Structure 1
């Protein structure tokens, strides 16, 4: 089992606080550190401080030595897929092969409206993601130099008709935001999509979001239950400006205790 933390790049006007949080996360034994791909805060003051995703990931690639890292998730709408492939390859090279390429279809309308992207509809955005994934794969195969490793593609979401079909066809990691019972149902749907494309569903790593509302003990109970279903990466979101990692540290100790 792996523990991830999403350092939400909001409400932290001093970037040094984010840099310090990344260092602390690596020091306490976190396995994966994520940010997100938005242009404005998603909670709190909607006009609060915020930083861009991919320039930050380039800094993390230089700053860190051990952890994997990436966006949870990059918005397909914001960049040409060939450009995104090149960006991901470059950040992977800077980090010596530690990038995870999280990607999704996009959903936050304010980002689209204020930065001039066409919001269209949910269905069209999901179709666009399905068109972009093969283009990313094709461009990645042509880049010189190649990435250090085959960059893992993480797709988040649980839409049964399109999102899980994209996961079956293209993802190395599936990230879910659901309870155990819903996860079990979605996993069965994913297995059907995998069968349709001739893929073994066990080749897709399973990832899940942790919600800290119930405290550490509740997180551990949820973790025990959902890892029993095959999930191996659990990620907790932490907000700025202070990026309190005390709960994350507890989860790392819990992970190490289970391994022992």
Structure 2
């Protein structure tokens, strides 16, 4: 049983690859029915696994459809690539999608996941400058204040303070950016690595004058049975409250999702 005041949440990333959109739509509906807390996609232009030129869909137009389709589940990109869009435009897109998701006068449900980008083929094929990990992180650091400032200017304003999720584990730059801007920090760290990085994140928060407890800790997981479940328990003890499983076509297997939801309910 976690001592965190935050609820334990299950996220599922539907890879927008190797499936028809009908399949993706039906999968999202099933996730909502199963009680999953957050549905993610990703922001790439080509598959990341399997056939390199297989079926694939663009992420933000998909998120707008998800906003209209669903009524309860939160959703967002895991993660959008900062390099692909002007930051002010990206802020406006996020605000609009968030409004689309608001039902019956309530708040929107978008989780604004963002990172510096890494998949070189996206850059080369679509004409973006790839640069270096350092220059891409510098661009992310410059973009986030612009995004936050644009949200302050938009009319209508966002329905609420849109939660910012930052993905990545770099200790010199990424975790500083997390300390400065993130409501949620996501990584794919194993338990030992996560423990070390949480110390680094706490140090960065102290340097920028922020309480590390304000940041929800999120991790990618491989399942919720056997050894995988034991790892979930260990990460829960470290303060992780958002656990995200990836699923992909062409043969989407929902059993792992059911197991993860069952585990969440058993420890909540």
* TM-score between both structures, scaled by the size of structure 1: 0.97
Q: CA deviation at 1:93?
A: 0.4
2:191 is the alignment partner of 1:186: no
Within a 5 Å distance, the mapping from 1:181-260 to structure 2 comes to 181-212=192-223, 216-259=225-268
Q: CA deviation at 1:6?
A: 0.2
Specify the alignment match of 1:77 in structure 2. Answer: 83
Equivalences, count: 256
CA deviations on 1:180-222 (whole Å, 9 max, x unpaired) are 111111010011110111000000000000024xx72222111
Specify the alignment match of 1:15 in structure 2. Answer: 21
The gaps in structure 2 that reach 5 residues or longer are 1-7, 103-107
8 Å Cα contact 1:7-1:243 kept in structure 2? no
RMSD: 0.9
Q: CA deviation at 1:242?
A: 3.2
Q: Distance in 2 between matches of 1:94 and 1:114?
A: 31
CA deviations on 1:213-258 (whole Å, 9 max, x unpaired) are xx72222111111010000000000011332211111111111122
2:72 is the alignment partner of 1:61: no
Q: Distance in 1 between matches of 2:93 and 2:67?
A: 12
Q: CA deviation at 1:74?
A: 0.1
* TM-score between both structures, scaled by the size of structure 2: 0.94
8 Å Cα contact 1:11-1:50 kept in structure 2? yes
Q: CA deviation at 1:68?
A: 0.6
8 Å Cα contact 1:85-1:139 kept in structure 2? yes
Specify the alignment match of 1:98 in structure 2. Answer: 109
Runs of 4 or more consecutive aligned structure 1 residues displaced over 3 Å after TM superposition? none
Specify the alignment match of 2:10 in structure 1. Answer: 3
Q: CA deviation at 1:17?
A: 0.1
Partner SS, residue 232 of structure 1: strand
The gaps in structure 1 that reach 5 residues or longer are none
Q: Distance in 2 between matches of 1:185 and 1:250?
A: 28
Q: Distance in 1 between matches of 2:77 and 2:198?
A: 23
8 Å Cα contact 1:39-1:111 kept in structure 2? yes
